Amino acid sequence: MTTPKRKLRSAEWFGTADKNGFMYRSWMKNQGIPDHAFDGRPVIGICNTWSELTPCNAHFRKIAEAVELPVILYNVPGRTVADMSNDTVLRLSEIGNIVGLKDATGDIGRACDLIKRVPQGFALYSGDDPTGMAFMLCGGHGVISVTSNVAPKLMSAMCQAAIAGNAAEARRINDKLQGLHKFLFAEPNPIPAKWAMHRLGLMPAGLRLPLTPLTAASAPLVEQAMQQAEVL
């Protein structure tokens, strides 16, 4: 007698491809469920989720205590499926070698709140090119940027203008960069950026998996954005 194969609970609840199902399977893996139970579906060993301040706080505190180097926090909920609240950042800013934050949320209202509250000397960097100018005009200290790989001179000039409070000049320069801000994310980063850098002769062609070549549909969009930025 053959026992029917039971469908995974994550598949029943969320579907086999849904992000929530992926995260639930990751939690199951962390609980010690054997590999064969996942039937070839994707699993990660550590699930980067927390719903309260304490686990996140403890995680970064432990890392900071283990190294002597300065540490910059990185909040990128679009990739980690976890969000570091402003209150958590403020708690962590009390640790001596945690010196700054890369904020890739793109939430300017939230950035303005944090800029007002962090201690003096704590660096706040945008990790979101499309909102980086606004972030700096609100008092942020810079951008850890994808666009700067392709148009470093323009990005540097825009950042200097924005940090100096010269909104008109920052907007003038940023207008030239808008295409890159958008289309360097036409496909998963860093695929378009690597294509653009190869187009500029800055690196050889070719990518390692899981990255795949930029599609024929996206290549003209990236090239047009490079022309708009006057790097071609």
Catalytic residue positions? Answer: 74, 102
Q: How far is CA 167 from CA 46, 108, 122, 179, 182, in A?
A: 43, 16, 23, 19, 21
Three-state DSSP class for 87?
helix
* Neighbour-count burial of 131, counting CB atoms closer than 10 A to its CB (0-12 exposed, 13-18 middle, 19+ buried): buried
Asked if 91 and 53 count as a contact pair (C-beta separation under 8 A), the reply is: yes
List, in order, residues 6 or more apart from 76 with CB less than 8 Å away: 102, 104, 105, 127
Amino acid at 91: R
